[in-house]
Structure formats: structure tokens, C-alpha cells
Structure 1
Amino acid sequence: MTALLAPPAPSAVPAPAAPGPSRLWTPKRVLVTRSAAERPHGQRVLARLEAAGVDAIELLPGDRLPSLKGDDDRAAFMAAKDTMALVVPPPSKRKLQPIPPSADFRLDLAEGCPAHCQYCYLAGSLSGPPITRVWADLDEVLEGLDDYVGRGAVTSGTLERGGEGTTFEASCYTDPLAIEHLTGGLARMVEHFGTHEWPGPVQLRATTKFDDVADLLELPHGGRTRLRFSVNATSVDRRFEGATAKVPARLRALAAVAAAGYPVGVTIAPIMPVDGWREQYAELLDGIAAAVPAGHDLTVECITHRFTPGSKETLLDWYPRTKLEMDESRRTTKRGKFGSVKHVYRKETMTELRGWFEREVAERLPGARLLYWT
């Protein structure tokens, strides 16, 4: 009756010791709505917050969050980035949306991220102050996933990626590992995907810039969760990816989860033609090859840097001294079918980047599948 994805064969390489996390976020303020505190997952999160020593927890009398104000815009931004809110999202959030080219459906456990990436994808996607909102209705969301199995259009039933089954992306609007020590939400999702009797093949997908994977290694994942690590050239990592685990630490975490039998992946993003980019990205690919045993299930996703007028304005407000290149005169403008504007690299640059990555990924990671380039 139940179609299941077979778990991967055990790795022949001895499992490395779980790496210690290089960075854990501690919010300076936690806001908890009344409805969130009543949910079972909300109560589990509260227990984890207390165990982590977070004492600035405010239990609100209702379900509205107070405004976050500072002495100026910069102070308001920093206050928001240091704040976590535990809330119950509106009912509209329960209806999962497609998320091409990554997965069939977006499966959010939170919105917002405590990291300080100066190219932040969320700058043009989420409105309001950039607090990290954790959803307290995770149990109800997981219970409703069976109805989506077999109904996707990105991987489900496709020739190229049909073997992945119906895919659910958990890191569209957050970095789930960045907050896992406070929420336990990713582990709960992994266990559900690994042990639930599904009506067809499924896969949970999550990507991260963090390395706190120790609590995930012994979970009964059943090969149905693909853990991916967002990685980049050394100069991009050092200059633009603040408050994250550095790329070498992410690669050590990648090695640990691969040894634990998870299918794994890397998201190389955002790719930038910085000085010495060929040498830096070649070094990165070699580091990935060293972390993942030959023959292990490894995917690669390549995403070039782009920005919108709205995201540029927001990012310059957030990081006014950034050296991130966002010069429209050096870009090509792409317009969406609803009039959206996006600034991407010019055709000649994109062609050079894509040709190099396709050749080098094939040579340096011969067993990997390159899922897409964008």
C-alpha cells in the first residue's frame, strides 16, 4: 500500500566525530503569542529556550506582536535581528506553495534568519522588521502533508528528478539549522519524514550555512531527508556572510551527515565573478569532494547573484557600508510575467560562469548530479 524511498546503503567510510558547532544564536528577546504557547510544538520550543538559558521571554496576552522600534532605523534593524517570535501563522500559510526550481512545495517552519548575509535573499521577500518568526503549528502542518504527495510539478513525475519523489523545501524563508538548537523543528521534520507511512515517495530538503548537526546524526531519517549546505568562494564567505559558520566548518558538517547516511547536497550561492573566482571555486569543489565519499548521493545547485530594486534598497539600509556589487549598469534586467524586475549578470558573464561550473563540477565531483543553474 505504501511506496517508500529505500534508505541509502551504509557508507564504507567510518563516521567522523560530530563537529562541535562554531556558532549558536542566542536571541536577546523572545516574544510568544498566547496561541503559540498553547500549541504542543510551542511548548516544546519554550522548554528548549529555557534549557538554552534564554531568559528574556515575554508571554504576550494576545496574538499580536508589539512594534519593534529603536532610536533610528539601524537600531530598529539590529533589535529585530536579535528577536525571535513564537507565533501561530495565519491559516493561509497552511496551503503549501510550489518553489521551483528547488522543490515541489515550500514547507516552512519559520520565517526570518539570524545571520547577517549582506546579499540576504529575504530582503526582497519578507516585509516588516527582520525578526525570526517560528511557527508553533508544526504538528498540524506535518499531519496534512499526505494530501500533497504526488501532486507536485518540480520533481514529482518528472523525467529529470522523478526519483526524488514529492519534495518539500524547508529552507525557503529561513535557515532551519540556525535555530534548531532553540526549536527542534528540523529534527521533528526529519523524524516524521523518516518514519511516517507515506502514500508515495517523498523527500524533505533543507539547506543551511550552519554546522550544528550533532543532534541530527542519529535520527531515523530513512534516507528521506536531503541535507544541503550553502557554500561559496572564500572571499565571498569572509566578506558577506556574517554570523554564520564559515565554509570549512560547513564542509565538516557535510562530511558528518553524509557519514550518517543522509543524501546530501551543496548549494553554491550566490555565485559571484570575484577576483580569482576560478581558483576559489575550484578550491571549494575540491573541498566538497574531500568531504563526501565517492559514490555517495550528492546533488549540486548553482545560483548566481541577482538583486531587485526593492532588495537593493533594503540591503543598503541594513548594511550601508557593504562592498557588495549592486551596479545596475553592469547587469541585465529581467522582467517577470507580472512585471517584476530582477538584475542579473550580463549574458557573456553568465555564459562564462555556467560553462566553467558545468565542466568543473563534472570533473571534480564526477558522481554528483547538477540539478539546475540559475
Structure 2
Amino acid sequence: MISPTRIYLEPAAAELPRGREVLDRFPDAELVEVAGHWQIPELHGDEANARRWVRIKREALVLGVKKSLSARPNGRSAHFIAPSTANGCAMACAYCYVPRRKGYSNPITVFANIEQITGYLARHVARQGAMAQPDQVDDRAWVYDIGENSDCSVDALVSDNVRDLVELFRGLPTAKASFATKYVNRDLLDWDPRGRTRVRFSLMPERTAKLLDIRTSPVAERLAALDDFRAAGYEVHVNLSPVVVHDGWLEDWRELLEALGDAASPETRAQLAAEVIMLTHNRALHEVNLRWHPRAEELLWRPGLQEVKRSEGGGVNVRYRAGLKRGLLDELLALIDRHAPYLRVRYAF
């Protein structure tokens, strides 16, 4: 998945224990000092080298220090978005929304100041007190998404940051960690989360995933992991996302929902819940994908079905037209009711 030959390094990160651990993990990598983890000219402008992206993701690693610590309110998937302990990803999903300020290949950046981050989170949780009443995020705990800008299962291949977070929340009775993943990392099964970390396995029909979910674990492997992670003490949910509309899409989702029911034991189904997220795509990413993976764009870029949505940062995104999207979503929700009636949908949009 990742075998760094070059590590772009903020000098301050190398002075921290976690930074030294990461460097010791990859002793043969070339070290390139950089002024800041966003200021790496070699990784900017790599849109022109789209065919090298997977190689960049596998061979480049960035080691930095997280400067700004904040827990942003969320309200959908979690109550708060925790400060990142990493950003970027070694996988290459064709629809990825993750910020691309390091260039579209966006290799993993590990933040070495993990003690600062965990200390901040512990204080933030303490300030919240007990949750007053249940909501769609959780019945009794404040939920913190610890993987908004990365995949924590892959991050755990690079450093112990994710394990430190799981161990932190294990001791916080009023809060839970949460992250979505497309990669099955069975090392996490030994971490003893004691119900305080929610793992959300992202799922889509296998036929679509083979085209769009590049370098991820096969969907069948993700399904096979559900019971094991629940038995290991994780709360296990699923993300049905992104929902991509194409000829035969509902039949594909029916097959996936049936496979989900077959894979999950009664104990796992009893605590399972889902998020359903329709596709949002990006015009700039569409243009780049045409250079390296044009077949993906046959599914992702559907002008006849989509409308423009400006992002907060001014980017041009596209989503299924509002009136059409509601109908498509209702069709999928009805399919869930028929073929996975045990699956509680926490939210859908």
C-alpha cells in the first residue's frame, strides 16, 4: 500500500517522538527538508503527471506539525470534526473530495505533534460534559470524526497516531471516536476500543467499486470484516457512499444489500446503522481524471443528470439535480427497507 522512498520533512516534526518513530519505520527513505507541509513545489502541479499519481501516493510521505487545533461542529456524521492527525491518502478513489492543496495525488501527511492533539481533544470533551439527549449521531455520547481528511486504517500503517486516538477515547466515557474507511487493516483488531470507536465501512456495489475505488480493499473483504471488528469491541456502521447513478444501479445496490445481510451476524446487524451519501463530483477533478482514468468519468460526469454547486472555497462541484436527487434517494431508501429492514439509516443526502 505504501513504501516511502522520499519523506518531505518539516524539521520541527523530526524533533518530536512521533516524528522520530516514523523516520525509524522507513530508514531507507530519502529525507527532503521543507519549510512547511503545504509548501512542497514538487507535489504541486502534478496534475500534469496524472499517470504518476499512484506511484506518488505509494512512494511519497510528508511529515509535519499540525499548527491549528480546533474541533469543528458537524451534526451529520459526528458532533465534531477532530483536528487531523493526518491528511491525504494512499488510495486513489476517482471521486475523492479530500483537499488537494498538495496536488491532486495528495499523498499522506502525518502530523508528529500527537500529544498536543490528544491533549486538546481530552480538554474539549471535558468541556462538553454529558450529552443531554439522544440525537441522530448517537444515543448518549459526543462523537468526534477523527478521519475527515484521510483514511485512518491506512494511516495506521504509517504511524501510531490512530492507535493513540482509539486509546484516548477508550477512557472518555462521554465521547466516541469515529472514522470511515475503505481499507481493512486487521491490526486494529488488537486495540481493545471497548465500544468507544465507531468504524464506518464505506460500501458501494462491487461492479462500481472496481472502477472507482482504486487501491482500496475489495468490497467483499470489507463485508467480511464487519463481524470481526464488532467482536473486537468496535461499534460498526456502514457508509453507503457515494451513490452513483447509472444503468442498472438499483439492481447492483439490491445485490449489495443482500450481501450485507449475509455477511453480518444478528449481533452485528443489531447495532448497525448507515449513512447514505449521493455523489458530489468536482469539475477540476473531472478534467484531471480524463487524463488517467476516463472510464471512471463515464459514471461520475453526467451533465444530463447533474447541476452545478459552488463549494465554500469557490470550486465548481456538480451533484444530481435537486428534484431528481430526491427521487433517486427515495428509491434507494425503499430498497433498503425491503432488503435490509434491520439497517437504520442515520441520515441521507
TM range (shorter): 0.7 to 0.9
Q: How does 1:197-346 map to 2 (within 5 A)?
A: 198=172, 201-213=174-186, 215-296=187-268, 297-316=271-290, 319=293, 322=296, 323-334=298-309, 342-346=317-321
Which residue does 1:185 correspond to in 2?
Answer: 161
Q: CA separation in 2, counterparts of 1:352 and 1:282?
A: 17
Q: How does 1:171-182 map to 2 (within 5 A)?
A: 171-182=147-158
Letter in 2 for 1:308: N
Q: CA separation in 1, counterparts of 2:114 and 2:178?
A: 16
Q: CA separation in 1, counterparts of 2:175 and 2:7?
A: 34
Q: Deviations over 1:158-184 (max 9, x none)?
A: 533341511111221111112312212
Question: Is the 8 Å Cα contact of residues 68 and 79 (structure 1) preserved in structure 2?
Answer: no
Which residue does 1:99 correspond to in 2?
Answer: 74
Q: 1:159 to 1:256 in 2, by over 3 A?
A: closer
Letter in 1 for 2:13: A
Question: Is the 8 Å Cα contact of residues 210 and 244 (structure 1) preserved in structure 2?
Answer: yes
Question: Is the 8 Å Cα contact of residues 250 and 332 (structure 2) preserved in structure 1?
Answer: no
Q: How does 1:51-66 map to 2 (within 5 A)?
A: 55-58=28-31, 60=33, 66=40
Letter in 2 for 1:218: D
Q: 1:318 to 1:264 in 2, by over 3 A?
A: same
Which residue does 1:10 correspond to in 2?
Answer: none
One of 130, 137, 144 as aligned partner of 1:168: 144
> In the TM superposition, what is the alpha-carbon distance from 1:74 to its structure 2 partner?
3.1
Q: Deviations over 1:55-92 (max 9, x none)?
A: 224163865654216795336745643311111122x2
Matched residue SS, 2:300: coil
Which residue does 2:340 correspond to in 1?
Answer: 365
Q: 1:115 to 1:248 in 2, by over 3 A?
A: same
Q: CA separation in 1, counterparts of 2:88 and 2:287?
A: 18
User: Which shows bigger deviation, 57-66 or 113-122?
Assistant: 57-66
Q: 1:267 to 1:348 in 2, by over 3 A?
A: same
**Mapped pair 1:111 → 2:87:** yes
> In the TM superposition, what is the alpha-carbon distance from 1:193 to its structure 2 partner?
1.0
Q: CA separation in 1, counterparts of 2:300 and 2:215?
A: 20
Matched residue SS, 2:150: coil
Q: Deviations over 1:174-199 (max 9, x none)?
A: 111123122122222111111x2x3x
**Mapped pair 1:120 → 2:92:** no
Q: CA separation in 1, counterparts of 2:344 and 2:300?
A: 30
* Percent identity of paired positions between Structure 1 and Structure 2: 26
Letter in 2 for 1:149: V
Letter in 2 for 1:278: L
> How many positions carry a matched residue from both structures?
337
The answer for unaligned runs of 5 or more in structure 2 is none
Matched residue SS, 2:42: coil
Which residue does 1:8 correspond to in 2?
Answer: none
Letter in 1 for 2:208: V
Q: CA separation in 2, counterparts of 1:292 and 1:42?
A: 39
Q: 1:181 to 1:156 in 2, by over 3 A?
A: farther
> In the TM superposition, what is the alpha-carbon distance from 1:106 to its structure 2 partner?
1.8
Question: Is the 8 Å Cα contact of residues 206 and 228 (structure 1) preserved in structure 2?
Answer: yes
Question: Is the 8 Å Cα contact of residues 150 and 157 (structure 1) preserved in structure 2?
Answer: no
> In the TM superposition, what is the alpha-carbon distance from 1:248 to its structure 2 partner?
0.7
Task: Report the TM-score, using the length of structure 1 for normalisation.
Answer: 0.80
Matched residue SS, 1:183: coil
One of 52, 65, 68 as aligned partner of 2:42: 68
> In the TM superposition, what is the alpha-carbon distance from 1:96 to its structure 2 partner?
2.1
The answer for unaligned runs of 5 or more in structure 1 is 1-23
Which residue does 1:37 correspond to in 2?
Answer: 14
Question: Is the 8 Å Cα contact of residues 77 and 137 (structure 2) preserved in structure 1?
Answer: no
Q: Deviations over 1:218-256 (max 9, x none)?
A: 222120101111110122111111111111111122221
Which residue does 2:123 correspond to in 1?
Answer: 147
